[in-house]
Amino acid sequence: MKYLIAGLGNFGDEYSQTRHNIGFMVLDALAKTSNTVFGTKRYGDVAQLKHKGRIYILLKPSTYMNLSGNAVAYWLKKEGIPIENLMVVVDDVALPLGTLRVRYKGSDGGHNGLKSIIEIMATQDFARLRFGIGNDFPKGYQVEHVLGKWTADELLALPERIAIAGEIVLSFGTIGIHRTMSLYNNK
User: What residues are annotated to the active site?
Assistant: 20
Strands of the 39-41 sheet, one edge to the other: 39-41, 44-51, 54-61, 2-7, 86-92, 127-132, 100-103
DSSP for 6-51, please give it: EE----SGGGTTBGGGHHHHHHHHHHHHTT---EEETTEEEEEEEE
2 touches 73 (CB < 8 A): no
Question: Which residues 6+ apart lie within 8 Å of 182 measured at CB?
Answer: none
- Tell me the longest C-alpha to C-alpha distance in the chain: 47
